[in-house]
Amino acid sequence: MITEEALPTYQTMLNSFDGVRDETGASLTSWAIWTRGWTAEENRHGDLLKHYLYLCGRVDMRQIEKTIQYLIACGMYINTENSPYRGYIYTSFQERATFISHSNTARQAKQYGDLKLAKMCGTIAADEKRHAAAYTNVVEKLFELDPDGAVVAFAEMMKKKIVMPAHLMFDGRDGALFDHFAAVAQKLGVYTASDYADIIEFLMGRWRVESLVGLSDEGKKAQDFLCQLAPRYRRLEERTQGKGKHGPKQRFSWIFDRELQV
């Protein structure tokens, strides 16, 4: 939910891409209309989940609000260098990751009997899947028109890794809050290293990266790197699987300093 609330940061990020930014704040270009429409839809996600948390009474809303405040103030850095190629590759990946995490949360909520939360997260996941499809279609067109530029941009983003939108998350107490949060998400199966590899494989197939021909030397190197990436993550996951099942405990201020294993 906290990640969903940092929309000012995400809209700022989208408007940093050369050639597609909203120059006036109310531009009638297709890119600007899309960005504002996307932001409006995403805004409903954070509102819905925050209202749910407030009404359920199971979290410390003061700490939730502090974390949101810090997150928006800190911003984010995703290595796009103002490039629309890199930017829309990032959003293609990230929206699919968000779809997966909300879907997994919906599944677990249903498993534990919270059917309302399951419905909420399932509805949000459906929105995220549509957003992912839109961004993926944009990049698919880039691969069609400029395969060399697109594959190099894809490789550059993956070399630096896809950082999550809330990587600068802070609650006023835990300086490594995002790392601890991500570790719990991995343990619970909300978003895992396997999901990361799955997304790479999905995008590789959707954009037909392995079958690209006529590339420059730089493009071929990028293609080779990308083709080896998902298997590399699979091997890494296999080596680390089962490790750290009894890791250290960490207090989370959002749930009244309750300790969870990370």
Binding-site residues for Fe cation sit at 4, 42, 45, 95, 128, 131
- What does the DSSP 8-state code read for residue 221? H
Q: Which residue has the tokens 């809050």?
A: 177
Say how many CA atoms lie within 13 Å of 132 toward its Cβ.
18
- Measure the CA–CA gap between 123 and 174, rounded to whole angstroms: 31
The answer for residues whose C-beta is within 8 angstroms of residue 34's C-beta and 6 or more apart is 134
Residues that constitute the known binding site: 4, 42, 45, 95, 128, 131
* Tokens found for residue 33: 């209309």
Q: How far is CA 222 from the centre of its chain?
A: 23
Contact 100, 195 (CB under 8 A): yes
- Measure the CA–CA gap between 87 and 85, rounded to whole angstroms: 5
Q: Of 78, 232, 225, 211, which Cα lies nearest the Cα of 152? A: 225
